[in-house]
């Protein structure tokens, strides 16, 4: 019995030493600072969401709230298209893009500060991420009843411009799938849904 008692005593001492390990001053400041910041911001975040809800407008704290109807004017259209584009996935969520707007034109531009030269030296991951953002933008444009035209690497990619999208109202240039992602209904070539949100546009009437 004696050896077993000594073993348990050693284990208890080791467990006590582990649980009583002090935390450093830096860790303590980070933890307490985070708790204090969360406690200070919580009422303001709740107030902002409540004010937006009472006003009947989407909160600025929710960039994923997309326009449910066709935007009015070139600027609001560009805002809606970019709001859809930035929801695209990206490598390590770096979002290596920025957008430039000029009238009815949106340019997708590489953001050098968000590249990953160590893990993505050839920029392949960044290009795939930018392609996902561009596809989101084009899907949203067609859902809003627009006819987008894309120029890839305009001016040979000068100033980091990856793509330039110009849109016009009119009929879509390719078939458009209507309804939920699982739906099988597809409109004929050269037709657009008349209205509806970006991700679930209504099918045009026959």
What is the secondary structure of 68-81 as a DSSP string? SSPPSSHHHHHHHH
Position 11 scores a pLDDT of 54
- The string of pLDDT tens digits covering residues 50-100 is 666 666 655 554 556 677 778 889 999 999 999 999 999 999 999 999 999
Position 66 scores a pLDDT of 75
Rounded Cα distance, 45 and 65, in Å? 17
Nearest CA-CA partner of 175 in 159, 162, 195, 189 = 189
pTM (whole model) above 0.75: no
Position 151 scores a pLDDT of 96
Q: What is the mean pLDDT of the chain?
A: 75
Structure tokens given for 156: 């040979």
* Per-domain boundaries in the chain: 74-169
Q: With 70 as the cut, is the pLDDT of residue 2 above it?
A: no
Cβ partners under 8 Å of residue 160, min gap 6: 109, 110, 111, 112
For 169, phi then psi, to 5°, come to -80, 150
Range of 15-24, 65-74, 130-139 with top mean pLDDT: 130-139
- The string of pLDDT tens digits covering residues 95-121 is 999 999 999 999 999 999 999 999 999
Rounded Cα distance, 164 and 152, in Å? 7
Q: What is the homologous superfamily of the domain 74-169 according to CATH?
A: NADH Oxidase (3.40.109.10)
Task: Give the three-state DSSP class for 124.
Answer: helix
């Amino acid at each position: 019995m004696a050896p077993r008692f000594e073993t348990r005593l050693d284990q208890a001492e080791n467990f006590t030493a582990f649980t009583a390990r002090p935390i450093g001053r830096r860790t303590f400041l980070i933890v307490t600072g985070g708790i204090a910041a969360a406690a200070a911001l919580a009422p303001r975040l709740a107030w902002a969401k409540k004010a937006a809800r009472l006003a009947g407008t989407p909160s600025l704290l929710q960039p994923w709230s997309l326009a449910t109807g066709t935007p009015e004017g070139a600027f609001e259209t560009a805002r809606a298209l970019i709001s859809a584009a930035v929801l695209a996935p990206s490598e390590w969520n770096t979002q290596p893009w920025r957008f430039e707007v000029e009238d009815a034109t949106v340019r997708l531009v590489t953001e050098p500060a968000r590249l990953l030269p160590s893990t993505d030296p050839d920029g392949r991951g960044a290009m795939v991420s930018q392609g996902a953002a561009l596809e989101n933008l084009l899907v949203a444009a067609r859902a809003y009843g627009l006819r987008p035209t894309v120029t890839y690497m305009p001016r040979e990619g000068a100033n980091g411009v990856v793509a330039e999208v110009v849109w016009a109202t009119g009929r879509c240039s390719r078939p458009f799938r209507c309804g939920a992602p699982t739906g099988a209904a597809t409109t004929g070539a050269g037709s657009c849904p008349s209205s509806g949100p970006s991700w679930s546009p209504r099918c045009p009437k026959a």
